A = this chain, B = another copy of it.
């Protein structure tokens, strides 16, 4: 996703540098003129604005806080924007520590997946200082088309968590509905047509139910990444003393998918977990 997102910025005429653990993945942006660098620290020392999008909160922590990390390497006045879906608590830590060095940070996770990154149609949910957000806004607009400022540091990540929590619910609702419908012998297309215009209507029903009916479990969004997001939400919820039993249940079912070797499938593969516990091929 990072490659597609950065390519829009380069095509708009900006110059920049790139680092990635696997150089081949930077091939496209290097062709578009980005300067390759061997270390994040070198990049941080030379760039005014740095975007990061990595895998897990641990990766974000290492990238930002390591001895050769971004905060210790970037110049005063520079802006670091983390677009990874990561921990709201970590986003606050990064903001606070960076401030001590005169460095600004934003947490700006995205939704919309590979397709959104390629088409520059991502949703970008941003937390941090509002003036800093406005400085970066022209660049966000090159990557996405639904860009919101959510408030103080961590708010971008918390908004993304709200998004993922809602999706967990719609996903289990849709998959259980399909399992019931199939097993009870309904004509599935006729059933979906009847329910998709009313109170059961949701993006998942419109976009993923037809793929499930074709037994197409290719990833738009990986099972294992969704598990990471749910872990972050459940950990934050625990710290806030709030109980999310639906999310916890859905995460357990997704963990069972990884146990069955389906971690690299798309999130609609939740259907496979329900089929397995029901021992049906439906």
Interface residues in chain A, defined as those with a beta carbon under 8 Å from any beta carbon in chain B: 88, 111-112, 123, 125, 146, 148-152, 154-155, 158-159, 161-174, 176-181, 183-187, 190-191, 193-195, 197-205, 207, 221, 233, 236-237, 240-247, 249-250, 253, 274, 277-280, 282
Other than the given A123-B195, A243-B277, 18 more pairs (CB < 8 A) read: A111-B198, A111-B199, A112-B199, A150-B186, A151-B186, A155-B185, A158-B191, A159-B190, A162-B186, A162-B200, A163-B198, A166-B170, A166-B174, A166-B205, A176-B246, A176-B247, A202-B204, A242-B274
Given the contacts A200-B203, A202-B202, A245-B249, A162 and B177 also touching, CB distance less than 8 Å: yes
Asked whether B246 lies within 8 Å of A173 as measured between CB atoms, the reply is: yes
Assuming the A-B contacts A111-B198, A198-B111, A199-B111, are A243 and B150 also in contact, with contact meaning beta carbons closer than 8 angstroms in the complex?
no
The binding surface of chain A is classed by DSSP as helix
Residues of B within 8 A of A279 (CB): 241
Residues of B within 8 A of A178 (CB): 162
On whether the beta carbons of A165 and B148 are closer than 8 Å, the reply is no
Contact B198 A159 (CB under 8 A): no
Cβ-closest chain B residue relative to A126: B194
Q: CA separation between A166 and B208, bound complex, in Å? A: 13
Q: Which of B123, B151, B177, B183 contacts A198 (CB 8 A)?
A: B123
What separation, in Å, do the CA atoms of A165 and B186 have in the docked complex?
Answer: 15
Are B200 and A150 within 8 A (Cβ)? no
Residues of B within 8 A of A167 (CB): 173, 199-200
- Complex CA distance for A84 and B184, rounded to whole angstroms: 19
CB distance from A192 to the nearest CB of B (A): 8
Are the C-beta atoms of A173 and B177 separated by less than 8 Å?
Answer: no
Report yes or no: B242 in contact with A159, Cβ–Cβ below 8 A.
Answer: no
Q: For A123, what are the chain B residues with a Cβ–Cβ distance below 8 Å?
A: 194-195, 197-198
A244 touches B180 (CB 8 A): yes
CB distance from A189 to the nearest CB of B (A): 11
